[in-house]
Amino acid sequence: MNKDHYYTYLFDILPVAVAIVVDGKLVKLNPAAVQLLEVSDEQLLLGKSVDEFVHPIDQPRSQGRLKKQGSNWANANSKFRIRTSKGNFRMLLVISNAIEFEGRDAVMISGMDMTEHSEMEEQLRQSEFNFRRLFENMQDVYYRTDANGIVQKVSPAVTKILGYTPEEIEGKPAAELYPQMGDREAFRKEIMLHGMVSDFPGQMVTKDGRIIDISVNSQALYDDEGNYAGAEGICRDVTQRKLLEREMQRLATTDSLTGIANRRAFLEHAEHIFKSCQRYQTQMTLMMLDLDFFKGINDKYGHQSGDLALINFAEAVKLELRESDLFGRLGGEEFCVLLQQANQPEALLVAERIRAHVQSLLLNSAAGEPFSLTVSIGIAIYRAEDDRLGRLLERADKALYQAKSNGRNRVTWET
């Protein structure tokens, strides 16, 4: 094979698209170039201007490449978008060389199809852009710490939640943000034990000293040898949610008028204390309280005055109770008090103080008319044979009935 045949053979088998251009027109293309331009025969391309196939935006650069510029022209390369005969655009990495073809100055263009590579680069750039935008604009705080709990990275949302800039936190121990070291230690133990935490509750201190509730979702990081290397995750400010939950809990367990425990909350708590008394044989006393002639107050002075009576009555009772005592409204003008660790003399003393305090109240109706209150109280104490809370309530209720039958405004012990 002589030299000319050898070069022709190489020209034809090269997998890279190669074209020879004279005066801006195509004069020879190898099969790879013909295939790239999506035509069936090289003859359909010969004599056509290169500009017909170059994207309009790239034409000024391609035209400059096709002008011979001395020795500096050799091996010039750049990226161009070309349009095939079917209207599809491909991205080429083009290498241009000045040559002589059949006695004329020419340019040999070699083009490597970089479309998929360029698309991957664009996807990567877009992915990085999207991640950066998400990272910078997310409402929750992304963070990463090392094995020693030092903050390595934190997202800008930390400024909105804690008041610190990322630069003020990065490089410092995460433990400094916790009001109680126990919270941080509990988190570290949990994530090192399980490798992750989900909705882990805690609190943090803001730059201005406020304490906020947080929820953390995090996973452990490990080095190549499987050693714990830190953690990364998302920290969310749930202060408002916690406030709402506490308010909903308060509304669900509190009597809206008097602010004390409602019937359900009182009985649930009383049931828990009753079972504790059964188990440990401790003392427990129940008082049933009923405002005397309450219906008459409503009828004579109106429901507004009736509400005033209930509110003041509840406040008077609370002043005579200990922190450990339980007080609730069972309904209407009927209330109940549970005294823990109180024997008969102690319970009678508390009940008498309540009765006297209520009797001393002097209220004014909406019309300015003065009226007073009295209360009847029935007391029952826990017995070893009581198998349910209901028995104790029944006995206290019977004692209350006796107090009312005996003239009201009095304390009666169960018989």
Residue 352: the pLDDT is 97
Taking the CA of residue 10 as centre, how many other CA atoms within 13 Å lie in the half-sphere pointing to its CB? 6
13, pLDDT greater than 80: no
Residue 122: the pLDDT is 65
Share of the chain above pLDDT 90, in %: 49
Interior/surface letters 38-71, b for 16+ CB within 10 angstroms, e for the rest: ebeebeebeeeebeebbeeebeeebeebbeeeee
Residue 73's pLDDT band (cuts 50, 70, 90): very low
141-146 β-sheet, strand order: 151-154, 141-146, 228-237, 211-222, 196-205
Tell me the three state secondary structure of residue 78: strand
Domains of the chain: 3-117 (3.30.450.20), 138-242 (3.30.450.20), 254-413 (3.30.70.270)
70, pLDDT greater than 50: no
Q: pLDDT digits over 317-361, tens only?
A: 999 999 999 999 999 999 999 999 999 999 999 999 999 999 999
Average pLDDT for residues 366-376, to the nearest whole number?
94
Q: pLDDT digits over 231-254, tens only?
A: 998 899 999 888 888 888 888 899
Residue 65: the pLDDT is 62
Q: What secondary structure letter does DSSP report for 150?
A: B
Average pLDDT for residues 248-275, to the nearest whole number?
93
Instruction: Write phi, then psi, for 234 (nearest 5 degrees).
Output: -120, 135
Mean pLDDT of the chain: 87
Average pLDDT for residues 388-413, to the nearest whole number?
96
45's tokens: 């391309």
121, pLDDT greater than 80: no
Query: Which secondary-structure segment (H or E) carries 137?
Result: helix 115-137
215's tokens: 């929820």
164, pLDDT greater than 70: yes
Q: Tokens 């903050």 map to which residue?
A: 151
Residue 5: the pLDDT is 59
Residue 291: the pLDDT is 97
**pTM confidence score:** 0.55
115, pLDDT greater than 80: no
Q: What share of the chain is helix, strand, coil (3-state, %, to 5)?
A: 45, 30, 25
Average pLDDT for residues 32-56, to the nearest whole number?
86
What is the separation of C-alpha 393 from the centre of its chain, rounded to a whole number of angstroms? Answer: 45
- Other CB atoms within 10 A of residue 251 CB: 10
Share of the chain above pLDDT 70, in %: 89
Residue 248: the pLDDT is 86
Residues 396, 402, 407: CA angle, nearest 5 degrees: 135
Distance CA 69, CA 286 (A): 107
398, pLDDT greater than 90: yes
- Other CB atoms within 10 A of residue 241 CB: 12
- Other CB atoms within 10 A of residue 330 CB: 19
Helices (H) and strands (E) in the chain, counts: 13, 17
Distance CA 85, CA 20 (A): 18
Average pLDDT for residues 163-170, to the nearest whole number?
94
188's tokens: 């570290």
Highest mean pLDDT among 4-8, 115-119, 153-157: 153-157
Contacts of 77 (CB under 8 A, 6+ apart): 93, 94, 95, 96
Residue 215's pLDDT band (cuts 50, 70, 90): very high
Average pLDDT for residues 370-391, to the nearest whole number?
95
